[in-house]
Chains A and B, each alone.
Chain A
Amino acid sequence: MSALTLETVTLRRGPRRVLDDVSVTFAAGRLTAVIGPNGAGKSTMLTVAAGLLSPDSGTVRLGEDLLTALPKQQLAVRRAYLPQRAQVEWPISVERVVALGLLPQLPAFGGLPDAFRPAIDVALDACDLQELRDRKATTLSGGELARAMLARAIVGDPELLIVDEPTADLDPRHGIDAARRLRARADAGRTVIVAIHDLDLALRFADDIVAIRDGKLLAAGSVADVMTEPMLAELFDVRARIIRDADGAAIRFLE
């Protein structure tokens, strides 16, 4: 399994540097949370990491391979990307939505070969979707849709999984479930990158933290090293306290 490495990546949008000389490595088999205030460049960093946006300078490598040099189809097999608030535009069944994740592997014409059916069943099981498999995706609740989208992303068992805000709009139960499923992917040896606003979830489930602000890398490292009161205060411009008790740690922001 392979790590994803950004090396001196800079991306401009007009005169503004949305990503400014960022060098960071996302390790394989670890769940890395990208945190930072609104507009820090988290989503941009994820699209660059996914190879959907080419940086103006710097390189992005998956293992040894330059992302820009990989054929689109091959890259699509090796990494999956879920944008924020992913939607389905037509009332397609959940099973078919999940099958769309196999598109890069499928032959150009014809239906779904039987050889791919077990993979779909595995993904449906992993995301507790067996009972919803014939439901139309447009009738799902927010939590159910998030599960269907995650199943779509992992059905091809990509070595790199990139998810933008997997827990936004989810209630605590669904948020924890979503984080746990991403955790399971990392435990299975895959590289998992998420941008996340829920810092308590990041604290509980992530291995590594990448903190960015104004397009610059502020800190990167293990949760214990990066999630400190001074770092959080600097990142978000608010005084922060990390409270530890028998149930684990939680973050409280003060004025």
Chain B
Amino acid sequence: MTRWLIPALLLVLALVSTASLLAGTIWLGPDEIVAGLSDPAPNLTAMLVSEIRLPRLILAILIGAILGLSGAVLQGLLRNPLAEPGLLGVSGGAALGAVIAIYFGFSATFILASPIFALIGGFITAGAALMLSRGGGTLSLILAGSAVSSIAFSLVVLALNLAPNPYAAYEIMTWLMGSLADRSWDHVQLGAPFILIGGFLLLFTGRSLDGLALGEAQAESLGINVGRTRMLALFGTALGVGGATAVSGAIGFVGLVAPHVIRPLVGHRPGGTLVPAAIAGAVLVVTADIATRIIRIGPPINLGVFISVVGTPFFLWLVLHVRKQTA
């Protein structure tokens, strides 16, 4: 079972990725794509695929993967099935950074201003959470993270309240809803390095997370540096999720859901969930992105909103399920 899990997930990812290139307002057949791309003369099909759908697909894969991976790492680190990247304030800080860029009009003059500000914001809040929890254990990290996160979101709401004009408010709202619409190769270039480096760091925590299943005292006795593992997890999450949130806006639930779907399939071993959870996260985001393109009830549904609407019932189920397990 475990041996076939990763190949099976990769196969599913390949299938939904192909579908993602075909689906949309203009439906393409595989033969049309091949014909369009092999035609040396510039044509609409080739441009649609290589300039619009491909960067969007790559972003969806990268963002889904880093969200799933960081969720798996944080749940293992904090030994809490409800942990997710938003808990450490990375998403809140990134949202605040982007809102500042929009609010003060930087984003109107420079298109990549909001992602860059988001990246900086995510770093500042994650750093603040880490500083506040220094010396304390896991619980103080959770508390510091949620405190910093609340502060960031309250400032976001304040910006909405004080927005200089309805357009700024609308832009902030749209950003908070998370979307992959109209993203280009520029966004890939901005987000990908951070996501890849963050993901690379996170993958190094696998073995320590296995040891942490026995609690911190036993993990230390097994030669695991718990403090360094915590740093690696936080820094990797800040880089990766900061980069992801910077280009897509806030997308929740993927980091929570993906590890949960995977965990029973790998015998609940925390280190074993990392890679499969990353692929599952990518599958989730690519699939949701296709759904937002083909579901048409009035104006287009934003990706973050769609995932929240589908993810919330799951979250409720999770809370009930966890309660049953611990009761």
Contacts and interface: CB of A to CB of B under 8 A. Distances in A.
Is B one of A's binding partners? yes
A72 B225 contact: yes
B223 A103 contact: yes
A88 interface: yes
Nearest to A83: B217
A179 B20 CA distance: 62
Chain A binding surface, main DSSP class: mixed
A103 B211 contact: yes
B213 A90 contact: yes
Nearest to B75: A90
Interface string A188-203: 0000000000000000
Interface residues of B, number: 23
Contacts of B109: none
Interface stretch (B34-42, B59-67, B262-270): B262-270
B214 A86 contact: yes
B288 interface: no
B183 interface: no
Given A88-B213, A89-B214, A73 B223 contact: yes
A98 B100 CA distance: 51
Contact of B268 (A87, A91, A109): A91
Contact of B221 (A50, A74, A108): A50
The size bracket of the interface on A is 20 to 34
Given A89-B79, A89-B213, A103-B210, A81 B218 contact: yes
B207 A88 contact: no
Nearest to A85: B215
A75 B222 CA distance: 8
B305 interface: no
Contacts of B225: 72
A82 B218 contact: yes
Nearest to B221: A81
B276 to A, nearest CB: 14
B215 A52 contact: no
Contact of B215 (A73, A77, A86, A91): A86
Interface in B68-123: 79
Given A72-B225, A100-B210, A86 B267 contact: no
Interface string A85-128: 01111111100110011011010110000000000000000000
B26 to A, nearest CB: 44
B301 interface: no
Contacts of A73: 223
Contact of B222 (A91, A103, A108, A109): A103
Contacts of A90: 79, 213, 263, 268-270
A100 B218 CA distance: 10
B181 interface: no
Contacts of B222: 76, 100-101, 103-104
Interface string B287-327: 00000000000000000000000000000000000000100
B48 interface: no
Given A90-B268, A91-B268, A92-B268, A80 B221 contact: yes
B163 interface: no
A183 B217 CA distance: 24
Interface in A154-181: none
Contacts of A72: 223-225
A42 interface: no
Given A92-B268, A100-B210, A87 B224 contact: no
B213 A52 contact: no
B214 A76 contact: no
Contacts of B218: 81-83, 86
Interface in B202-232: 206-207, 210-215, 217-218, 220-225
Contacts of A74: 223
Contacts of A96: 267, 269
Contacts of B269: 90, 92, 96
A207 B218 CA distance: 26
Given A90-B269, A92-B213, 6 more contacts: A72-B225, A77-B223, A80-B221, A81-B218, A96-B267, A104-B223
Interface of B: 79, 206-207, 210-215, 217-218, 220-225, 263, 267-270, 325
Q: Return the 5 tightest CB-CB contacts between A and B, nearest first.
A: A76-B223, A81-B221, A83-B217, A89-B79, A72-B223
